[in-house]
Amino acid sequence: MSEDLTPIPPASCVVVSGGSRGLGLALVQDILGRGARVAAFARSVTPELAALAAEHPEEVYVEAVDITDVRAVEAFVRAAGNRLGPIDALVNNAAAGQDSLLVHTAPDRIASLIETNLTAPLLLTRAVLRRMLAGGRRGRIVMITSVCAQRGYSGLVVYAAAKGALEAAARTLAREMHGRALVNCVAPGFFASEMSSALGSEQLDTITRRTPSGRLVEPTDIVPLVRTLLFEDTNLNGQVLTVDGGSSI
């Protein structure tokens, strides 16, 4: 088979993990707004996501799926393809947070964090790529990682390890999928909402002051970059785009 060196086409049918709230929901809405079809899952389907599916039954497919349930995830990808048509893109957004020192994190909690933040996204990526390749299609993969993968933050050792591994996997996959898939990461800094729930207002003010842009991250900062990676012809591949207001520079 001769190599197709033309640009990889814009996404037409995108799987989004963790699509029920926050950034995931914002991504689902944006992808739909771009005229693409979107299949989203999360542990539970929020009323907002259910409403989108009800309003756009031909373009949106949603289900409650635990990302660590391998069989359920594979069944979701299969069902999404049958319902919406061939899948040609994935946004790996689902994640589980950590806020504990490594020495006080139980071994089974460590295993669970690795499973949710690394193993499960890799298996989802595998499932999507297998269907894409089997159908002779090319596509795009976006991993939502974290600034924690590049900078040290206390209390996030396992989370950081998983996100760093995901970034390494994305670079390797970009090379491995030579010409068949663009694979990139978007690494947000701390979201304002997450920070405000975990920290006091004094700590929040300090972090904001240390951020050159003066603003913590909002989903609206991330959505345009994911949109670009899914729909534009940029030739970006194997890269990590960090969105943190410059706090890590």
Partner 1 sequence: MSLLTRNDIRGLMAEVVAAQGKRLPDDDGALLRDIGFRSLDFSELALRVEDDIGHELNFDAPGLRQIASVGDVLEFLDSLQRM
Q: State the Cα–Cα distance between residues 24 and 105, nearest whole angstrom.
A: 27
Q: Which is nearer to partner 1, 34 or 109 (CB)?
A: 109
DSSP 178: T
Least distance in angstroms from the C-beta of 61 to partner 1 = 35
Give every CB contact of residue 192 below 8 A, 6+ residues apart in sequence.
215, 216, 217, 218
Q: Which is nearer to partner 1, 100 or 239 (CB)?
A: 100
Least distance in angstroms from the C-beta of 98 to partner 1 = 8
With CA atoms as reference, report the closest residue to 38 among 23, 68, 58, 21: 58
State both tokens at 73: 């995830």
Of the residues 41, 159, 190, 231, which is catalytic? 159
Least distance in angstroms from the C-beta of 104 to partner 1 = 5
State both tokens at 202: 């004094």
Instruction: Determine which helix (DSSP H) or strand (DSSP E) holds 36, and give its type and residue range.
Output: none
Half-sphere exposure of 122 (CA within 13 A, CB side): 17
Binding test (CB under 8 A) with partner 1, winner from 2, 3, 6, 103: 103
Least distance in angstroms from the C-beta of 111 to partner 1 = 13
Binding test (CB under 8 A) with partner 1, winner from 72, 155, 180, 228: 155
With beta carbons less than 8 A apart as the criterion, state whether 93 and 18 touch. Answer: yes
Q: Which is nearer to partner 1, 101 or 168 (CB)?
A: 101
> Annotated catalytic, 159?
yes
**Binding of residue 101 to partner 1 (CB under 8 A):** yes
Q: Which is nearer to partner 1, 156 or 166 (CB)?
A: 156
Distances (CA, A) of 38 to 10, 11, 14, 75: 13, 10, 5, 16
Binding test (CB under 8 A) with partner 1, winner from 21, 34, 43, 109: 109
Q: Interface mask (CB under 8 A) for partner 1, residues 206-245, using x and -?
A: ----------------------------------------
**Burial label, 123 (beta-carbon count in 10 A; 0-12, 13-18, 19+):** middle
The residue type at 128 = V
Least distance in angstroms from the C-beta of 92 to partner 1 = 25
**Binding of residue 196 to partner 1 (CB under 8 A):** no
Strand partners, 181: 139
**Binding of residue 205 to partner 1 (CB under 8 A):** no
Give every CB contact of residue 6 below 8 A, 6+ residues apart in sequence.
none
Dmax over CA atoms of the chain, in Å, equals: 61
Q: Which is nearer to partner 1, 54 or 101 (CB)?
A: 101
Catalytic residues: 159
Which chain residues interact with partner 1 by CB under 8 A?
Answer: 99-101, 103-106, 109, 154-155, 198-200
